[in-house]
Amino acid sequence: MGASLNEIKQRIASTKKTSQITNAMQMVSGAKLTKSEAASRGFQEYASKIRSIVTHLVAAQLSDLEELDSYDSEEASETGNYHVMLTSRPVKKTSYIVITSDKGLVGGYNSSILKQTMKMMTDDHKSQDEYVLIAIGGTGADFFKARGINVAYELRGLSDQPSFDEVRKIVSTATTMYENEVFDELYVCYNHHINSLTSQFRVEKMLPISDLDPDEATTYEQEYILEPSEEAILDNLLPQYAESLIYGAIIDAKTAEHAAGMTAMKTATDNAQNIISDLTISYNRARQGAITQEITEIVAGAAALE
């Protein structure tokens, strides 16, 4: 019985230490989540402004592009590179940017993304030759490589609050690959942050830019003085707009990651407290049994001496 009591005491002590660690990690993830939510709100203001400008400038071009029945690379090059990013072309290859975390301890965050992304690619494509992957996060990169899926580009080690400079290379690489027709459409797969307890798997089409509504331009009263020309401005602005969409998804995914980490650590802390409670009850019962046994032995010994 003594050995059993010591074993229970050791388990209680080790579980308390684990609980302290998970509680500290929960608080750290909570602080990161607060910063990420603030950064996400700030970015949404920027995204809204650049969207209004782009929509205003391309309203006329979009109405003209709707009349094009098929993609004409020569015509696009004559009328401006922005046509390449606005006009759909025959899809020979699709690209997916899959955003996961670099490490674990985030509950089902990564498994949800990877499972649903694999299902989507299996359902939509007959072979791996029809798509190319870009992985942000070591978990996703390792997952796809282990299954023999080609990862054209990967980015690891993003900071908890990634700046645009950190992701500039992979974002600009994706838009350049699209312009060079390495692939014909681009999707971003990630977990969208809803609140601290909930995230939702999301697949967003980033290229070609097809979600701009020319009717939105009528709601903007400001007129722009353009220098050097509308075409030259759009030639630079549209890639920046596409890059901002991808960057926004990365910020959103990071926010969801921190929320998942906080929730996972809270669950771990709560489970540890439950284990400690159960072990304490077991310890008390074992201690009570040991004391009762000792009293019984003392009484029996005294009776034998009479």
Residue type, 52: S
Q: What is the pLDDT of residue 80?
A: 43
Q: What is the pLDDT of residue 81?
A: 44
User: How does pLDDT run across 9-63, given as a tens digit for each residue?
Assistant: 899 999 999 999 999 999 999 999 999 888 888 888 888 777 777 777 766 555 5
Q: What is the pLDDT of residue 203?
A: 92
- What domains can you pick out in the chain, each with its CATH number? 81-261 (3.40.1380.10)
**Which residues does the chain have with pLDDT short of 70?**
1-3, 58-83, 210-227, 229-230, 306
- Cα–Cα distance, 266 to 5 (Å, whole number): 29
User: How does pLDDT run across 50-96, given as a tens digit for each residue?
Assistant: 777 777 776 655 555 455 444 454 444 444 444 577 777 888 999 99
